[in-house]
Amino acid sequence: MNELALKYGCNPNQKPSRIFMEDGSELPIKVLSGKPGYINFLDAFNGWQLVKELKQATGLPAATSFKHVSPAGAAVGLPLDETLAKIYWVDDCGPLSPLACAYARARGADRMSSFGDFIALSDVCDRDTAMLIKREVSDGVIAPGYTDEALELLGQKKKGNYNVIQIDENYRPAPIERKQVYGVTFEQGRQELPIDDALISNCVTKQKKLPEGAKTDLKIALITLKYTQSNSVCFVKDGQAIGIGAGQQSRVHCTRLAGQKADNWFLRQCPKVLNLPFSDHITRAERDNAIDVYIGPEYMDVLADGAWQKVFTEKPEVFTEQEKRAWLDQMKGVTLGSDAFFPFSDNIERAHKSGVAYIAQPGGSVRDEDVIATCDKYGIVMVFTGIRLFHH
């Protein structure tokens, strides 16, 4: 099969729609269930490239959670501690496989953005991973294969209509890629830049010590950025993206957006949040929304109108700004990647507030010296990659 008809394009009025191979060769995918749409396939193919590269760069199983052609989260399969298992709502699942840990991390970093995601997995989907997918609101999954147990579990989603795609892991696209905009064909070489130790070896700050864990996290950040709509910035901690700022016109807005997501990820680990008295009848998604409101400034409004009674068994104490800042001051060792240079040092000032200790960016701004000086002020290690990673 070298083409697949789709229901419609990005929107229902955009018909006809299909995916096909221009050279007449076979499509590198099989749809095992469901009817994936135009945006589903955009998410699937971008997500697959991301996790494939993460696996190659780290040697660990990888997963990503995509929404609207950008990752909401990406991670490798490191074990979950008790706190992470609790904030990702998998503490009732027992020990998980490495691939399942990767998906729990990818989904859990920004659970609100991951609601209704399209999942990409680097390895054959196993029972543990399918079990996590089955209980979440999701549009579909792409992987190089599925165990029989995994297919049985996924077949129970959406009355058997959940989108399950199998991709040929040996497929290699042509080195030149094309797309059309307004009837005009664009052509370019594929972004095949390897994200490796050599790319992050040019340290430009006074502090130059880059631990192995930080190197891994920087690779995760940069690979994630390769498949994130630009401008983009990615915060990573302990093998997973914890904040992604995508598609912003201003770089500092990317940094602020990603930094706020990283802060929320860490605030969810505070005992005051971990011990919130949730009502038993609410869903995981409703708990995620309640936590987001609780750690945000609008919680005072919720207290005032009594809406807290819908999700809590008793009225939680206010999480003051002073308490939040004191907790966030404990977040250390975060890495940050940027798909293009930082034009001003305000990005570094914001990154520092979220515990960033290691940065990778292309360099090349007329204000590079100011940015480096700000890193030196905080003892941040920064490397220049010399390569931009725009993705459109």
Q: What is the rounded CA–CA span in Å between residue 54 and residue 40? A: 21
68 carries an active-site annotation: yes
Choose, from 231, 261, 264, 347, the residue flagged as catalytic.
Answer: 231
76 phi/psi in degrees, rounded to 5: -110, 165
CA-angle at 13, arms to 48 and 37, nearest 5°? 20
231 is known as an active-site residue:
yes
Q: Which of 40, 46, 55, 67 is catalytic?
A: 67
Q: Specify the amino acid at residue 250.
A: S
Nearest CA among 228, 226, 220 for reference residue 358: 220
Active-site annotation holds for 392: yes
The C-alpha R_g of the chain, in whole angstroms, comes to: 21
Dist. CA 262–CA 159, nearest whole Å: 35
Distance CA 158, CA 136 (A): 11
The answer to whether 170 is a known catalytic residue is no
Bridge partners for 35 per DSSP: none
User: Hunting for tokens 């905080």 — which residue is that?
Assistant: 378
Contacts of 223 (CB under 8 A, 6+ apart): 50, 53, 54, 57, 74, 195
* Residues β-bridged to residue 243: 235
Catalytic residues: 67-68, 231, 392
